[in-house]
Structure 1
Amino acid sequence: MTTEAPLAPHPDRLLPADPETRAIARALYRSVRDLPIISPHGHTDPSWFAENQPFPDPASLFIIPDHYIFRMLYSQGVPLEELGVPRIDGGWTETDTRRIWRRFAENFHLLRGTPSRMWLDYAFHDILGVTERLSPTNADRIYDQIDAQLKRPEFLPRALFERFRIEALATTENPLDDLRHHRAIRASGWGGRVVTAFRPDNVTDPEHPRFAEDLPELGRITGEDVGNWDGYLAALRNRRRYFIEQGGATSTDHGHPTAHTENLPQEEAAALYGRIAAGQASAADAERFRGQMLTEMARMSLDDGLVMQIHPGALRGQNPAVTDSFGEAKGDDWPSSTEYVRALKPLLNAFGNERALTIILFTLDETTYSREIAPLAGHYPALRIGPAWWFHDSPEGMKRFREQVTETGGFYNTVGFNDDTRAFFSVPARHDLSRRIDCGFLAKLVAEHRIDQDEAFAVAEDLAYNLVKAAYRL
């Protein structure tokens, strides 16, 4: 009989190897390990919490929707169809979830050393009680174990929300969403706080695939004339109010290809919008318009109090063979070089000194941390530094982030941790990983006598809980 390798994540994982520093990190980690989770930006499905139905089978939960996982397997030649990823043309894709799980188990070794592996180990062991490492020989047994757990009442979405000690969780919706699930959550009487975030890219980016069809719909649902600049801005204000009132929104999110901003005279902005609305815009017009809309969104945030997030620099849909067959967000996205100082100057000239405004700036270009982003946030009252994101949401990425931004931006121009995930079971895993890395970083500062230990304990709590709660007004 084959003895399977045990699954037992080490209690000191990710903490420093040096014994003296590790002892400090352990104490710091114990002080923040069980703090509530604030998840201020992500892509979990609000219907989970509105309907509170059991999660589906293991493959549908962990593999089919997770581009972190199937991206790696695809790179080693595993067809996405065999992993159950649906084709947009309705072509064949595997629907037998047990077969999908077996295929995943055959390739589980490909995730060694990746953050995805750490998140999965946490979910399997700490949440679902799995004690064997997944392999081809135990794939069916672990599938059955997880499948049985998911059917139990304590694994319903609301029960897990409470078990994970989530104090607040934000989903992300586009301006046309009716927020029915958020309204249902609020009407249910359940005490879990699930809010929305306002993501207007589909009606502020002329090159967005849905812009041409969604712009008229924005006008229809708001009753505003989006054929002109003033009516368009009024429609966006209308939807922001709706998101605040019906979805509890505290933030906006903007996923532009660059950080370019503009602050055009309103007559010039209106003329630019006229070309956009008429479908006559050039690529240069589209970039200028996106830049103008970042400034307009900042202006609106000063009025309604929504925190503004800017997520630039992702090259999306790089591989047309994947995008054309499977659609967006299927693992064929890349970080790109992004400039911030000159790009943000028009917006910052207008609003960078506003203490009532919070703009959280993210990057996929790590070379800008110490050269641009930390110095900017270390000066402008309106700017804060978003945590390591997407490709850099990893132990090494988090370490590089702290090393490069702290000397200029400090701790208090950052905003804690942001899990930015679609995978609900990875939320506590990601926060745990972040807390371990931050405690290791602080322990090193204590060991080198750069900060005192009492300060390290205060900062650890701020990074894990206080900063994110304050920055996102949650």
Structure 2
Amino acid sequence: MGNKSFITDNFLLQNKYAEELYEQYASKQPIIDYHNHLPPKDIAEDRNFENISQVWLAGDHYKWRAMRTMGVDEKFITGDASDKEKFLAWAKTVPHTLRNPLYHWTHLELKRYFGIDELLNEDNAERIYEEVNRQLQLPENSCRGLLKKMNVKTLCTTEDPVDTLQYHQQLATSDCEIKVSTAFRPDKSILIETENYTQYLKELGKSANVEIKTYADLKKALYGRIKYFDANGCKLCDHGLNYISFEEFSEAEIKEIFRKRLEGKELTSLEIEKFHTAILLYLSETYHEFGWVQQFHLGALRNNNKRMLKELGPDTGWDSIADYSQAENLSSFLDALDGKDKLTKTILYNLNPADNEIFATMVGNYNDGSVKGKVQFGSGWWFLDQKDGIIKQLNALSNMGLVSCFIGMLTDSRSFLSFPRHEYFRRVLCNLFGQEMESGELPNDMELVGKTIANISYHNAEEYFDF
């Protein structure tokens, strides 16, 4: 076989049932990528990337961590080396990523977007670099072209409340065939303990045309921005929090805590938790009012390496899985909303695999029969969006809930080349069901099982989100 890629038609599909499920019920489904971090500017302007490093390596801290592990100097990762040098350093790393999902994704992406059917390594790196760069100049490989190639129907980027949404507005009136929406990410307004919190409030106030001097002003500003986002087609929010805070509080306490912070006084950890609780409940009640879906990404331990945080800033590959206690606060928080009948559709993403069963059972407490799959145990996230993580999430959800109601995969990515992750997920999904059909644990009823596969791949998300 030599240097030929192992990404065959039956990649990850280990029997005839899995092959048929994938081919007939999963592969042709469009993609709804309801959470990612793609720059809307690039889609609005339909950018053509100059080279593969710009679209493939920039911002990809999965690859950066692997390169650092191999002893690659930071110059060739986030430093001032040329784009070509960075690609060559990555190509040299690739053969050493065997059994890491990066090995699968790298070759799946090279094949699906550029038809390259060989294993990337140091020897062919320069040739592949030149070939991909040639293809990236073609009109059909602009940002929109790359998305169309993967059959993306709808995608949802993530923006801070201060964002003007100018590129979403541009896209809404353009001839772009892909529906591009946004998700409201107000975490900076919640994290009162951060150093630059008061500076952020000035930006938020300016965007909302409100001078934020009191807690009531903060709520008014956030409400105004939610209304603005909603008017611009937003139907989702997203929060990336370590855990859900929950402490009993009074409105008077929160006003006082906020006043103290504006005056530059030190807050206690209890005051911080009370504030987090109050503002998150307020936001969630407002999401319910607007009929949005709320998403919570929980369980990361961020910025562990303070030396490198100082040097490179956040989101550069120094995060890991945390072991926070999740269940009790999450229950209290959801219950507080449900008790007021203000719990909107909710997706909970878990980063610690030890907590999978906690999340899978928690969602069942608040599925009240009003909406199919109202509260969702979200797909494997970040460190868990690989084969093993996907299977564990699917198994926990199957055993303790209804996997047939699951809204499926998303990329959570900053790269236009990450959409084969939907294919990867669908192959893992079909193989899981196909193996149980072969063993007799599921009926040999292709239509019954196939419908479930098609729903998880696409139709459940189409029904769940009001795009």
TM range (shorter): over 0.9
RMSD of aligned residue pairs (Cα, Å):
2.0
8 Å CA contact 2:303, 2:314 repeated in 1: yes
Distance 2:255 2:441 in 1: 53
Change (3 A) 1:263 1:186: farther
**Matched residue type, 2:387:** P
Residue matched to 2:400:
408
Residue matched to 2:282:
296
Alignment of 1:224-263 (within 5 A): 224-246=210-232, 248-262=233-247
Change (3 A) 1:436 1:355: farther
Change (3 A) 1:330 1:36: same
Deviation at 1:448, TM superposition (A): 4.2
Distance 2:207 2:362 in 1: 38
8 Å CA contact 2:384, 2:390 repeated in 1: yes
**Matched residue type, 2:60:** D
TM-score by length of 2: 0.93
Cα displacement string for residues 57-88 of structure 1 (whole angstroms, at most 9, x for unaligned residues) = 112222232111011111221122222x14xx
Residue matched to 1:89:
none
**Matched residue type, 1:386:** G
Distance 2:212 2:441 in 1: 56
Deviation at 1:12, TM superposition (A): 1.8
Residue matched to 2:29:
35
2:18 equivalent to 1:25: yes
SS of the counterpart of 2:158? coil
TM-score by length of 1: 0.91
Residue matched to 1:116:
102
**Matched residue type, 1:421:** S
Cα displacement string for residues 289-310 of structure 1 (whole angstroms, at most 9, x for unaligned residues) = 2222221221111111111111
2:460 equivalent to 1:467: yes
Deviation at 1:383, TM superposition (A): 2.4
SS of the counterpart of 1:362? strand
**Matched residue type, 2:399:** E
2:434 equivalent to 1:434: no
**Matched residue type, 2:255:** A
Residue matched to 2:415:
423
Residue matched to 2:7:
9
SS of the counterpart of 1:42? coil
8 Å CA contact 1:260, 1:287 repeated in 2: yes
Deviation at 1:398, TM superposition (A): 0.5
Change (3 A) 1:164 1:396: same
> How many pairs were matched up?
456
2:354 equivalent to 1:363: no
**Which sits farther off after the overlay, 37-46 or 58-67?**
58-67
Distance 1:181 1:359 in 2: 27
8 Å CA contact 1:294, 1:347 repeated in 2: no
Change (3 A) 1:209 1:159: farther
Alignment of 1:60-459 (within 5 A): 60-83=54-77, 85-86=78-79, 93-94=80-81, 96-208=82-194, 210-246=196-232, 248-262=233-247, 264-280=249-265, 281-352=267-338, 354=341, 357-370=344-357, 372-381=358-367, 383-412=375-404, 414-427=406-419, 429-452=420-443, 453=445, 454-459=447-452
8 Å CA contact 1:377, 1:413 repeated in 2: no
8 Å CA contact 1:310, 1:361 repeated in 2: yes
Residue matched to 1:55:
49
SS of the counterpart of 1:224? coil
Deviation at 1:355, TM superposition (A): 8.2
Deviation at 1:172, TM superposition (A): 0.6
Q: Is there any run of 5+ residues in structure 2 with no aligned partner, and where?
A: 368-373
**Matched residue type, 1:250:** K
8 Å CA contact 2:334, 2:343 repeated in 1: no
Identity of aligned residues (%): 25
SS of the counterpart of 1:424? coil
Change (3 A) 1:275 1:14: farther
